[in-house]
């Protein structure tokens, strides 16, 4: 079946520097493999590597200023829309999208994340085209978890206000869609609790198992901490690790080396680093990760959806120690595919156990790779998404 799809997103997903971008890119590619013609729309200011992505989709840019400003934050207080959604809503962009819809015949409109739901809903009202929402995260839960970690009373008050607004906005907005794709069963369950009539189905994120190949890492007393330091949950994870876990670990392994790598990590260099912590920056070749460390840590306390980076680390064959929130939504068994730890002491114990056992690291890595191959291949996930979209036509 030939389908013409209008895909509306917050950004152009290249380069593939975080899980959200990876998910958008590979699902767009899966659509293309199934003869889906995609017109992809994103804010002009969030567009990178346009020429490369244009090989996958027909790319269109619209005028949305997504920068955080005090003025927009103040204005959002007088609307029913939470600020991190409000800043993506532009009348100019809606008019540009309407012009595109009039010029072309679309079978389906897909919004990538709740932030772009506004456009799909408004276009459906006017042109009666089926709309789907790919809910990258259960947004209400992310705000709640962030709110629980902050100590600044003014910020906490602002987050509480936005939490209430997000709860109401998310519950109402998802009901407008003909289908909502949630990423994990947990997110799906929580969404149905606030919006019982939502037409949702769980379609997880995945891994390109051909691009990321399994390699047995050389055992050494090093840890890899892979983060996007431009994302608040990862900033919190880094602070949590440095404040509550790192010194416990150094006491038991004085020569341990923790390699912090990823987008935005150069900002950490402006601050005093804890002993034994090395900032590597962004690693271009994901397949080289096994040369840095045999063990990866994910001390995440805030989040929703699914951590694609964990899936990719599993595909690579690294042994992983994560909080339960970090591994949320992935069908792992603690002690078989990954180690889960939710207190600093338990986290330290699990890391030390792996540092002392090369065979256990190997076993976890092999089991993790097998799980990813069986359940989280993009080919399998792409077919699930395609069939759901076809069912609406």
3-state secondary structure of 39: strand
Residue 277, strand partner residues: 258
Identify the three-state secondary structure at position 286.
Answer: helix
User: What is the rounded distance in angstroms from the CA atom of residue 100 to the CA atom of residue 93?
Assistant: 11
Report whether pLDDT(137) > 90: no
Give me the CATH code for the 222-375 domain, please: 3.40.50.2000
Residue 298 CA: distances (Å) to CA of 107, 316, 365: 40, 15, 15
Over residues 274-279, mean pLDDT: 92
Q: Which fold has domain 3-206+377-390?
A: Rossmann fold (3.40.50)
In the chain, list all ranges with CATH 3.40.50.2000. Answer: 3-206+377-390, 222-375
- pTM more than 0.85: no
State whether the Cα torsion 136-140-141-143 is positive or negative. Answer: positive
- Residue in 144, 138, 141, 106 with CA at minimum distance from that of residue 123: 106
Phi and psi torsions of 375, nearest 5°: -125, -15
Under the banding of pLDDT at 50, 70 and 90, the label for residue 162 is: confident
Q: Cα(97)–Cα(123) distance, rounded to whole angstroms?
A: 8
Report the Cα 147 to chain-centroid distance in Å. 19
Cα–Cα distances in angstroms (integers) from residue 244 to residues 222, 352, 354, 358, in the given order? 18, 15, 19, 26
Mean pLDDT of the chain: 91
Q: Which residues contact 144 (CB under 8 A, 6 or more apart)?
A: 163
Nearest CA to 118 out of 190, 177, 54 is that of 177
Q: How far apart are CA 65 and CA 73, in angstroms?
A: 13
pLDDT above 80: residue 99: yes
- Which strand ranges, in their side-by-side order, compose the sheet holding 58-62? 58-62, 36-43, 3-8, 108-112, 131-135, 179-182, 200-202
Instruction: Tell me what pLDDT residue 305 has.
Output: 59
Angle between helices 19-33 and 378-390 (to 10 degrees): 60
pLDDT band at 94 (very low <50, low <70, confident <90, very high): very high
- Mean pLDDT within 263-292: 88
Q: Are 62 and 44 in contact (CB under 8 A)?
A: yes
Sheet holding 295-298, edge to edge: 277-281, 257-261, 222-226, 295-298, 319-322, 339-340
- The least confident of 9-13, 82-86, 112-116, 383-387 is 82-86
Using one digit for the tens of pLDDT, what is the confidence trace for 352-390? Answer: 999 999 999 999 999 999 999 988 989 889 999 999 999
The answer to whether 219 and 357 are in contact (CB under 8 A) is no
Per-residue pLDDT of 298-314, as tens digits, reads 999 987 656 888 999 99
What's the rounded mean pLDDT across residues 181-194?
92
Measured distance CA(214)–CA(319) in Å, rounded = 12
Three-state secondary structure call for residue 263? coil
Q: What is the arithmetic mean of pLDDT over 108-127?
A: 97
pLDDT at 246 > cutoff 80: yes
Torsion of CA 314, 318, 323, 324, to 10 degrees: 30
Compute φ and ψ for 75, nearest 5 degrees: -60, -35
pLDDT tens by residue, 15-28: 887 888 989 999 99
Four-residue CA torsion sign, 186, 191, 194, 195: negative
Which pLDDT score is estimated for 140?
Answer: 86
């Amino acid at each position: 079946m030939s389908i013409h799809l209008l895909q509306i997103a917050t950004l152009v997903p290249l380069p593939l520097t975080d899980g959200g971008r990876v998910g958008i890119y590979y699902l767009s590619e899966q659509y293309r493999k199934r003869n889906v013609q995609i017109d992809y729309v994103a804010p002009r200011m969030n567009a990178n590597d346009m020429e490369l992505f244009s090989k996958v989709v027909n790319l269109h840019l619209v005028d949305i200023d997504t920068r955080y400003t005090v003025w927009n934050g103040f204005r959002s207080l007088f609307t029913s829309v939470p600020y991190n959604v409000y800043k993506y809503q532009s009348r100019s962009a809606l008019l540009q999208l309407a012009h595109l819809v009039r010029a072309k015949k679309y079978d389906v409109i897909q919004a990538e994340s709740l932030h772009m739901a506004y456009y799909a809903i408004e276009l459906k009202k006017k042109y009666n085209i089926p709309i789907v929402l790919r809910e990258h995260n259960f947004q209400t839960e992310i705000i709640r978890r962030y709110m629980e970690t902050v100590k600044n009373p003014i910020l906490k008050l602002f987050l509480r206000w936005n939490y209430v607004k997000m709860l109401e906005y998310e519950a109402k907005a998802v009901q407008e869609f003909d289908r909502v794709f949630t990423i994990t069963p947990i997110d799906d369950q929580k969404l149905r609790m606030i919006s019982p009539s939502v037409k949702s189905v769980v379609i997880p994120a995945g891994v390109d198992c051909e691009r990321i190949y399994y390699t047995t890492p050389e055992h050494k007393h090093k840890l890899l901490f892979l983060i996007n330091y431009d994302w608040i949950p990862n900033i919190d994870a880094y602070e949590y690790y440095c404040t509550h876990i790192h010194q416990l670990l150094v006491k038991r392994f004085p020569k341990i080396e923790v390699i912090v790598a990823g987008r935005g990590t150069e900002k950490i260099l402006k601050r005093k680093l804890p002993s034994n912590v090395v900032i590597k920056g962004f690693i271009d070749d994901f397949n080289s990760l096994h040369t840095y460390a045999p063990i990866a840590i994910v001390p995440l306390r805030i989040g929703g959806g699914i951590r694609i980076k964990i899936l990719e680390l599993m595909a690579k064959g690294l042994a992983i120690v994560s909080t339960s929130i970090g591994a949320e939504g992935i069908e792992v068994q603690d002690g078989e595919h990954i180690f889960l730890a939710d207190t600093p002491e338990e986290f330290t114990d699990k890391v030390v156990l792996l540092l002392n056992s090369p065979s256990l690291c190997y076993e976890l890595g092999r089991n993790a790779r097998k799980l990813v191959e069986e359940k989280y291949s993009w080919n399998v996930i792409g077919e699930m998404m395609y069939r759901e979209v076809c069912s609406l036509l």
